[in-house]
Amino acid sequence: MTAASPAADGGDTPATPPDVPPERRFEPDLRSMTRINLRPIASPMPLGFFTIAIASVMTGCLQLGLFDEEARAAVAFTVLPAFVLQLLVSVLAFGARDVIAATLMAVFAGSWLPYSLVMLSGAPDGLRVLGVFNLALLCFGALMTAVTRPKRALWFVLAASLPRWASTGLAGVTGAEWLTRTSGALGLVVALVAMYTAFALMLEDMRSEQVLPIGRSGPAHLAVEGDLAVQLRNLERQAGVRRTL
């Protein structure tokens, strides 16, 4: 048995519900016709963390005095690609619906670009300006640590970066040499944490199981261990699906 067509009388105008005024246009319910397509991607996070590690090693060695002052331009050239790589990671993370990872990687990308440009240009009072910039990054990182705890991989990298941003900022503002050396040593610590995190995430992605401890909890743990229904929960309220951001 088939239902009678609203236009069975030969007209093309759909039937109007009786409770709708004649002068008001009736719009059908589109929910049954809506489809949301999800596109799986490879995780960009190992690339992002490896980039943090390599750039931190280069800047840390410069601050520790392992490179001469004349090597500033060369270090800036080696750090400049980190801006492009982490910006790419951020774009992919936004596409993967991970606003925390995307925001963090975008801000890291934005930190490498001014560093490289100031070092390359030799702008007057550039180190003091970078010092204030790093103190601003410290405020950002302090706020991010409050929301990244379920993502322990991100949280540990942030936790290692906070004292480095603080020492780099104070070194730039005060010009204290010991703070510069401290920042260089902390940069190597950040590199070690980021390198471990990147390696652990890559192993997990290749073997489809956790090999090295990462420490996910809460929603981050459910996102990896839960079924497809967990991944699609509240999808209709996410950015790109709802009408406004």
The pLDDT, as a whole number, for residue 236 is 64
- Per-residue confidence band for 230, with pLDDT thresholds at 50, 70 and 90: low
DSSP conformation letters of 99-162: HHHHHHHHHHHHHHHHHHHHHHHT-TTHHHHHHHHHHHHHHHHHHHHTT-TTSHHHHHHHHHHH
Whether residue 86 contacts residue 51, with contact meaning beta carbons closer than 8 Å, is answered with: yes
Q: What does the H/E/C string look like for 65-94?
A: CCCCHHHHHHHHHHHHHHHHHHHHHHHHHH
Average pLDDT over residues 184-209: 88
- Which residues, other chains included, contact 14 with Cβ-Cβ below 8 Å and sequence gap of 6+? 6, 7, 26, 28
Whether residue 169 contacts residue 129, with contact meaning beta carbons closer than 8 Å, is answered with: no
45-73, pLDDT tens digit by residue?
A: 899 999 999 999 999 999 999 998 889 99
- Per-residue confidence band for 1, with pLDDT thresholds at 50, 70 and 90: very low
pTM value? Answer: 0.76
Average pLDDT over residues 107-115: 92
Q: d(Cα 131, Cα 48) in Å, to the nearest integer?
A: 24
Write down the residue that tokens 């410069």 correspond to: 62
Average pLDDT over residues 164-177: 93
Q: Tokens representing 50? A: 């490896």
Q: From residue 211, give the alpha-carbon distance in Å to each of 127, 195, 236.
A: 42, 15, 33
Spell out the long-range contacts of 14-18 with Cβ–Cβ below 8 A and sequence spacing 24 or more: none
For residue 167, the SS3 value is: helix
